[in-house]
Structure 1
Amino acid sequence: MANEKINNGTGFEPFIVGYLCNWCSYAGADLAGTSRFEYKPNIRVIKVPCSGRVEVLHVLKPLFDGADGVLVSGCHPGDCHYSTGNYYARRRFTVLKEILKAVGMESNRFQMSWVSASEGRKWADVVDEVVEKIKALGPNRMFKDEEQKE
């Protein structure tokens, strides 16, 4: 999965896994595409029913497998299709940042955003911003030494 690092010949390009809420963020990403907004191609999207359904393990697994970053994007607080899903996500992922620090990984490798179905331009901006933040951290080297031993 994360082994397909993006490299356009200019150096490191991060591989980012994105979990997008079906009702808002995925629709916002779709709008960005149909509106032909340009944004960086570094994100691999996984559509989920709600950002509240994304568990901590869903974020940790790609990072431990070598992804450079993970983005979870859902409905704006108060606008969740399932009423409280994004509130659960926000609480859960506040704790996740501490878990990442505890295992020795930069907490900024995880990002969260709120993008509604009508915010295609915002989606494009969020992707570009997240890519730049992850790019500044450099490649995820958490398990690089273990890979070299094999």
Structure 2
Amino acid sequence: MSTWEPKIAAFFCNWCTYGAADLAGVSRMQYPTGIRVIRLPCSGRVSPKFILAAFRSGVDGVWVSGCHPGDCHYIEGNYYARRKFALLKNLLEHMGIEPGRLHFSWISSAESTKFVEVAEFVVDSVKKLGPANRMIKEAPAAVLF
């Protein structure tokens, strides 16, 4: 179990967090390798269906990150995201998915150090929980969507 690395689906805002991830890579900063990035125009574009589909496909954790509130490229996208995420955490817990498997953050494109710190925190948090329960993977699609 000590060699197990969690699979993390990461939904990143193109304008901020994705830029921070790119800057971390260009700067040769080291961060966990189990993160698979899905680049979106805005964190407000992340649908709860995307997160449920990620868990259904077998990831151990999901990380959504975008611009700091008030600095959204699309004016209010991250405010919409924040509201959706607050409700979604309760739904996931009701479905039997531990709250520590879903993470949200706000990282600007200049914060590569913060990106690395949050990436390590997300992976460590999910790693402590162990592999995800695969019950959601076997649930009928009508239940999830």
TM value normalised by structure 1:
0.88
- State whether residues 70 and 109 of structure 1, in contact with CA within 8 Å, keep that contact through their aligned partners in structure 2: yes
Query: Of 117, 125, 140, which aligns to 1:133?
Result: 125
Q: What CA distance in whole angstroms lies between the structure 2 residues aligned with 1:107 and 1:130? A: 12
User: Against the structure 1 CA distance between its residues 144 and 90, is the aligned structure 2 distance closer, same or farther, given a 3 Å change threshold?
Assistant: closer
SS, match of residue 66 in structure 1: coil
Q: What CA distance in whole angstroms lies between the structure 2 residues aligned with 1:42 and 1:77? A: 27
Number of residue equivalences: 138
Q: What one-letter code is carried by the residue in structure 2 that aligns with 1:86?
A: N
List aligned pairs for 1:7-86, cutoff 5 A. 10-86=2-78
- What is the identity percentage for the equivalent residue pairs of Structure 1 and Structure 2? 50
| Unmatched runs of 5 consecutive residues or more in structure 1 | 1-8
User: Against the structure 1 CA distance between its residues 26 and 144, is the aligned structure 2 distance closer, same or farther, given a 3 Å change threshold?
Assistant: closer
Structure 1 residue 65 displacement after superposition: 1.7
Runs ≥4 residues deviating over 6 A: none
User: Against the structure 1 CA distance between its residues 31 and 106, is the aligned structure 2 distance closer, same or farther, given a 3 Å change threshold?
Assistant: same
Q: What one-letter code is carried by the residue in structure 2 that aligns with 1:94?
A: A
| Unmatched runs of 5 consecutive residues or more in structure 2 | 139-145
Query: Residues 28-61 of structure 1, C-alpha deviation per residue, up to 9 Å, x if partnerless?
Result: 1000001111111110001000000000011111
- State whether residues 55 and 136 of structure 2, in contact with CA within 8 Å, keep that contact through their aligned partners in structure 1: no
Structure 1 residue 145 displacement after superposition: 9.5
Query: Of 86, 92, 99, which aligns to 1:94?
Result: 86
Structure 1 residue 108 displacement after superposition: 1.6
- State whether residues 24 and 115 of structure 1, in contact with CA within 8 Å, keep that contact through their aligned partners in structure 2: yes
